[in-house]
Chain A
């Protein structure tokens, strides 16, 4: 017992005091698009992008597709694209995720009064991976570790859909998981909502267009919260949820 206490003391305090003011040093987060003109007829960034996240005239990057890989920034001859460590990029409106020089990041999330009243002090989430590569799944898991410690805000991941208020979907939604996702959703009591975690869940991202996907669930049930990233950073998730529910830190 004494040894256990000794180890605990020695491992130190690890939690992030305020996720809204964290400093994920080095994180390649949101792309920043500089104002100005592209080189004539240049589409190097579009060619470099693995997920067709970029459109030109004017230059726009869709965070709902973007893997934050940075390949576009590396090839841009005009240095119009840079990535910085901004992580508060979740949104409740899909259109907010399309960034441009005049819309450098998604607008701050408006607190949902209805969700806040219901879940502001206790939110139970059920995670379902439907083709997720274990990147987003590990990051969802990390929310519960001692660093991010989402439990301190009354948010927990639960084992059964019966106990869940929100469904956290990761992965591009494979056809082989379509039935299980439907069953899970049907098993959740009302009121309930969907959180799409990661570029795959939001748009299919690199898997978009594959004949192995069945995204009809998300076509019918629009997510309440979109959490971009590849994988989504735990800070993006936790801040998105805190902002949606108006939880103070």
Chain B
């Protein structure tokens, strides 16, 4: 096992590839000691498969394990002992064909490769018994959202189990990232999950900067923080608008919707795009926050803070809203922890996990943001946590934007990006609106990319939604789904 340095770099020459079983045993030991398995992925190497595990050590920094096995090998699954590993083992199986013996549910994650277009052939879990029936929804849904299929196994209105089938959005992102010139990858990275453009772009930039040894101006990192918190506010608002609409609290829907417009238009005035596209590039930022923009953002946030407080009070003050959300779609802290949930969904179930605090990258290191937690794990907790996180982001932004001139880059600030270091793995993680986004880039000796692994927070969280639905009514699904508000394309890549 090798621990990554402060830049997230691991030299692969020092990384000894153990037999796969041995590596998996080491992985289990590390997990038993409290490490979190963030990603497990393979790549072909001289007829064999090289497997890389990325562990987050007690939430501080990363460690890498490497194993080697002939193609088509089997290994003892980690999942029976650590359910959180179910996802990465399924992914490794789908991408590399390594079979985890004893895995309870080896369902394809995204119907990749030869499985493409064969989603209909997959045998769903089925519940038998008197009066049990199934309801299938999707991939196309009633609203304007991404596609996915939900199969409910019900007894009357009560949902016994929900099986989620994803993969419809699969674009082969990880393959494309290796085929395209490494210098112009950011626009593609920005639409891996396009509502989290900043979180994705930031991780990509951090990894490329680590590999090239670029030194970034802190003023540029602070602008990235501004961009990311604006993105978080905007996406939390989109969720709240959806939640309000789904329970027919239409005034809330309209008001959150128009408040989101105010925030994303402020992003647009700062960088040209309502989604922050083109704002971040390896080396820094393409647009700074000069005095004019600073004042513009401060004015926008001041008006916003006043207006959202009113709408939040109206929404939470309505007994009908509280009654509809309370107790609906409950996920316990134990389940959230065991399944390895991350981000807002985990925090709403009482699990304090947030890369902004745990890894504390610039600018969060110098200006900490409170990690907010709700204990109840129901739709109300997830809605309320979004409101509180918006308030906290606004507070953080107002403080940063009110700092003396010169704290933020006031124009484009791009450190030159030299050749990428060879024989290294760069690991970068940032906390997007749904949770941590992981990038892991491995280079060959000449600095070309051998593997680009992306891990989206939604992939870790979809099973949480399925469990939260158990014993709820099928009519609770829209609000449960919206309260998690997970990304389909983030899972499907």
Residue ranges of A at the interface with B (Cβ–Cβ < 8 Å): 3-4, 7-8, 10-11, 14, 24-28, 47-51, 67-71, 74, 83, 127-142, 145-147, 157, 159-160, 171-172, 174-180, 184, 200, 206-207, 210-214, 230-231, 233
Contact = CB atoms under 8 A, between A and B. Distances in A.
B326 interface: no
Interface in B250-280: 251, 254-255, 257-258, 261, 265, 268-275, 277-278
Contacts of B172: 207, 210-212
A132 B310 CA distance: 34
Contact of A206 (B111, B116, B187, B272): B187
Contact of B175 (A142, A145, A210, A233): A210
A56 to B, nearest CB: 17
Contacts, number: 200
Interface string B463-493: 0000000000000000000000001110010
Contacts of A83: 272
5 contacts: A27-B272, A70-B286, A133-B489, A135-B194, A142-B257
A29 to B, nearest CB: 9
Q: List the 6 shortest-distance A-B pairs measured between CB atoms, nearest first.
A: A133-B194, A28-B272, A135-B194, A26-B269, A159-B142, A212-B172
Contacts of A136: 194
B170 interface: yes
B128 interface: no
B65 interface: no
Interface residues of B, number: 69
Contact of A180 (B116, B139, B184, B281): B139
A200 B173 CA distance: 14
B144 A134 contact: no
Contact of B307 (A11, A25, A69): A11
B135 to A, nearest CB: 16
B145 interface: yes
Contacts of B192: 133
A146 B146 contact: no
Nearest to A157: B144
Contact of B278 (A28, A47, A213): A28
B147 A145 contact: no
B171 A26 contact: no
Given A11-B307, A50-B188, A27 B268 contact: yes
A51 B188 CA distance: 9
A22 to B, nearest CB: 11
Nearest to A134: B195
B171 A210 contact: yes
A10 to B, nearest CB: 6
Contacts of A134: 145-146, 193-195, 487-489
Contacts of A139: 274
Contact of B272 (A11, A70, A128, A214): A70
Contact of B254 (A10, A138, A145, A231): A145
